[in-house]
Structure 1
Amino acid sequence: MLVFILNAGSSSLKYQLMNPENSEVLASGLCERIGIDGRLVHEANDKKIKEEISMPTHKEAIEIVLNCLTNGENKVINNIDEISSIGHRVVHGGEYFSKSVIIDDDVLSKLEKLIPLAPLHNPAHIVGIKICRELMPTKPNVAVFDTAFHQTMPASSYMYAVPYADYKDHGVRKYGFHGTSHYYVSNEASKLLNKENTKVIVCHLGNGSSICAVQDGKSIDTSMGLTPLEGLMMGTRSGDLDPAVISYLMQKKEMSAEQLVNYLNKESGLLGVSGISSDLREIIEASAKGDERAMLSIDMKCNRIKKYICSYAGMLGGVDAICFTAGIGENADIIREKVCSGLEFMGIKLDKEKNINRMDGNREINHDDSRTKIFIIPTNEELVIAKDTYELTKA
């Protein structure tokens, strides 16, 4: 079985063609600037092609991708009939979905009802789903939700301290995101620990970042909330702040609510504090040259990660493993070192040599006498999507 994995954004489209039975990726790529001018990056057969190509809508983008898969020197299948099913990454499943589901008209209707909770993401996912149903009408489609893994959180974790009617009437609660990644990494950690009853903290650190407390394979709390804006300081997102800052800035800067939400999502975080970039690599480089705001940005980011780790260790009643994943978590040794520094009282002791040793795959970077394991585990959300799609549609 071959699964076509799709992640549709407002002007982009990420994809993979994977065999979930052996985890082989036959092709992968990215369509960018859909509706503007169009750019394709396609990898297959150990070759990468980049092409400027018109993509007026997502339909043309998907047609171009399917053509790349079935034609030319880099083709990997003879025709689209070799694709067994399509797995879609969907950001928000609300309280409707606690696991992946085969998409039918009822599922689509519920996704449309959830648009107010994810106005930037769910509309694009719905477009991608509808196009795939049109272009490949005999192929089953599966939705795999970023929020689903966090549906095991107790009410004490997901409720906000606002009038209960706002939860019942408007769905105001914590939903959490990056669930597919947190599920994959925590499951890999349990394998490395070689035990079933585990207490794991997963730090998914990329341009968007979140932390999750996982007990016995289930999410019991996570840092992102109603939207991905809550929690850690990120590339351009502010993360946690006093809610009164919102009305204060609206008055001082004469901003509308929409402008302020954009300000906190796209102009804040590492970019806003450093004044340099949202890319941590550039900030680390500036910090090494003595830039004070770059150093401040790094310290702020690490302090907030550390706060969540300590908080979740308390909720879990101890911790078996701290896991670092995603672009920053897997590659920024200075961040891992700063986060773990000072946590020796919790049994968290980093081995500095192991930490800076670059290796592929899962690896352990704690000191030999550390009571808590520290793992770097590269995430693989696409594999989770492919396997869920396979399991639901193989019959």
Structure 2
Amino acid sequence: MQVLVLNSGSSSLKFQLFAMPEETIICAGVVERIGFTDAKFKFKSEHKNVETETKILTHKAALKLVAKHLLDKKEGVLKTAEDIKIVGHRVVHGGMHFNDTVEIDQDVKEKIKSLSSLAPLHNPANLEGIMVAETIFPTAKQVAVFDTAFLQSIPEKAYKFAIPNEFLTEHHIRVYGFHGTSHKYVSEQANKFLGTKESKIITIHLGNGCSMTAIKNGKSIDHSMGFSPLDGLIMGTRSGAIDPSVIFHLKDALGYSMKQINALLNKESGMLGLTGYSDLRDIELKASEGDKNCQLALQMNAYRIKKYIGSYATILNGLDAIVFTAGIGENSSLIRNLVCEDLDFLGITLDENKNNLRSKTIRTINSDTSKVKILVVPTNEELEIAKQSVSLFIN
């Protein structure tokens, strides 16, 4: 069967069309920099390779562009929309409602919408993708795969906040964690590469959104994001961890409304707030040209990651490997170098020559003397979503 997977990020839409269960990729692509006039569109199949720059301001417009190329009469890969049997959607926040993959109905859509305030850059885009896909592929089964599902194994001592108990029991305020589909996929690939299931791994997902997970024997035990995808590492436009008192100060002393604060921390902070750029490629270029703000932002970014590595190595009581993945983690040798320098106390030493090589396959970039493996593992959230979507109807 043909399964279309849609992975909506905060500023991107990745897509892959699979023949399942063979796991053969029929076509794949991405729309990057959604919301900008110079958005980038890539589409690749056996007979078609498109790379273009155009104005794409919304996720809805991005999905319509993808569908146009899928169904193109001359060079498309589908004869009709009915060829698609399943559309698998990445959904970021499942809250307490979802701890597994589900077929989408009206109730599921309403619950995804109700959680939008907890993932304002993601759940609305995920829901919009679902609703547009329902109109373009009306005969397909629509399936939601939740980022939060893999992180349900985090123990209570790690997911509970130190606030009165009723906020957890009555209002479900707790750490949920995100990027779980990616963390699950790359940790499983890392374990296969290492030849073991008994491992202590830290997975580092670095894209426009960034997160880290401590994983012991295949189960997540802690995660850098929290109640929403705002917490933890410095991200493209999100602040990451911040003293809650800053919010009170912004409101009471500086006159910001709660709506303005929400926009500030989610859309105007992070690398964008520090440098004026949200794309790390732009920041690295400006840093190389001597831009002090960009140089400092890169150092801050790596410093925050290093803090989590130290913390997670402690709770894991040891470390077998750290795994870099996602757009930045897989492609930025500079960030990997900044993160790994001066971690020899933990047995982490990088081989700069290996680090500077490019590859689309899993590889080690640690030195021969490093006690801890440093892996670059290309994530494939789309394949993981396809597999989970199909299993919902086969098993």
TM-score by length of 1: 0.89
Residue 158 of structure 1 corresponds to: 159
How much has 1:270 moved relative to structure 2? 1.9
1:105-120 alignment to 2 at 5 Å?
Answer: 105-120=106-121
SS in 2 for 1:170: coil
Match of 2:373 in 1: 373
Letter of the structure 2 residue corresponding to residue 96 of structure 1: H
1:47 touches 1:74 (CA, 8 Å); kept in 2? no
Counterpart of 2:295? Answer: 295
1:15-56 deviation line (CA, Å, top 9, x unaligned): 33122434332233457979x9x9975443232165979999
Corresponding residue number in structure 1 for 2:83:
82
Partner Cα separation in structure 2 for residue 180 and residue 57 of structure 1: 20
Distance change in 2, residues 1:294/1:111 (3 Å): closer
8 Å contact 1:99–1:144 — kept in the other structure? yes
CA drift at 1:184: 0.8
Task: Tell me the residue number matched to 2:304.
Answer: 304
Match of 1:316, as an amino acid? Answer: L
Deviation for aligned residue 1:231: 0.3
> Which one-letter code corresponds to 1:151 in the other structure?
Q
TM-score of the superposed pair, with normalisation by structure 2: 0.89
Distance 1:221 1:54 in 2: 36
1:285 Cα deviation from its structure 2 partner: 2.8
Per the alignment, do residues 17 and 47 of structure 1 end up closer, same or farther by CA in structure 2, a change over 3 Å counting? Answer: same
Distance 1:125 1:235 in 2: 19
Equivalent residue pairs, number: 392
- Within 5 Å, which residues of 2 pair with 1:35-74? 42-44=43-45, 45-48=47-50, 50=52, 58=60, 65-74=66-75
The answer to whether the 8 A contact 2:40-2:51 is kept is no
How does 1:335-346 map onto structure 2 within 5 Å? 335-346=335-346
Distance 1:340 1:159, change over 3 A: same
- Aligned partners of 1:297 and 1:322: how far apart in 2? 22
Alignment of 1:186-265 (within 5 A): 186-265=187-266
Overall identity of the aligned pairs, in % = 46
> SS of 2:261's equivalent?
helix
Q: What secondary structure, in the 3-state scheme, does the structure 2 residue paired with 1:210 have?
A: strand
Would you say the 8 A contact 1:276–1:282 is kept in 2?
no
**Pair 50,394 (structure 1): closer, same or farther in 2 beyond 3 Å:** farther
Aligned pair in 2 of structure 1 residues 258, 15: CA closer, same or farther (>3 Å)? same
Counterpart residue type for residue 260 of structure 1: I
**1:22-37 paired onto structure 2 within 5 Å:** 22-29=22-29
- Amino acid in the other structure paired with 2:313: A
Aligned to 2:357: 357
Change (3 A) 1:151 1:54: closer
**CA spacing shift, 1:283–1:169, aligned 2, 3 Å:** same
- Determine the C-alpha separation between the residues in 1 that align with 2:11 and 2:361: 31
Determine whether 1:322 maps to 2:322. Answer: yes
Q: Which residue pairs with 2:348 in the alignment?
A: 348
User: Is this contact kept in 1: 2:34–2:62, CA < 8 A?
Assistant: no
Per the alignment, do residues 67 and 333 of structure 1 end up closer, same or farther by CA in structure 2, a change over 3 Å counting? closer
Aligned to 2:17: 17
Which amino acid counterpart does residue 203 of structure 1 have in structure 2?
A: I
Unaligned stretches of 5+ in structure 1? none
Evaluate the alpha carbon distance shift between residue 280 and residue 81 of structure 1 in structure 2; reply closer, same or farther with a 3 A threshold: closer
Query: Aligned pair in 2 of structure 1 residues 165, 293: CA closer, same or farther (>3 Å)?
Result: same
Deviates more, 1:128-137 or 1:72-81: 128-137
Name whichever of 342-351 and 196-205 sits farther off.
342-351
CA distance in 1, matches of 2:64, 2:52: 16
The 2-side partners of 1:337 and 1:294 are apart by: 16
- Alpha-carbon distance in structure 1 between the residues aligned to 2:175 and 2:214: 14
Q: Cα distance 1:281–1:62, how it changes in 2: closer, same or farther (>3 A)? A: closer
Contact 2:34/2:59, CA 8 A, preserved across alignment: no
Letter in 1 for 2:381: E
Cα distance, 1:176 vs. partner? 0.9
Amino acid at match of 1:339: V
1:70 shift after superposition: 3.4
CA contact (8 A) 1:87 1:386 kept: yes
Amino acid at match of 2:339: V
Q: Give secondary structure in 2 for the equivalent of 1:88.
A: strand
Structure 2 alignment gaps of length 5 or more: none
Structure 2 letter corresponding to 1:177: F
CA distance in structure 1 between the aligned counterparts of 2:90 and 2:28, rounded to whole angstroms: 15
1:48 counterpart letter in structure 2: V
- After the TM superposition, which residues 1-16 of structure 1 pair with which residues of structure 2 at under 5 Å, given as runs? 1-7=1-7, 14-16=14-16
Supply the distance in 1 between the matched residues of 2:357 and 2:159 (Cα, whole angstroms).
Answer: 38
Q: Secondary structure at the match of 2:198?
A: coil
The equivalent of 1:392 in structure 2 is: 392
Q: State the superposition RMSD in angstroms.
A: 2.9
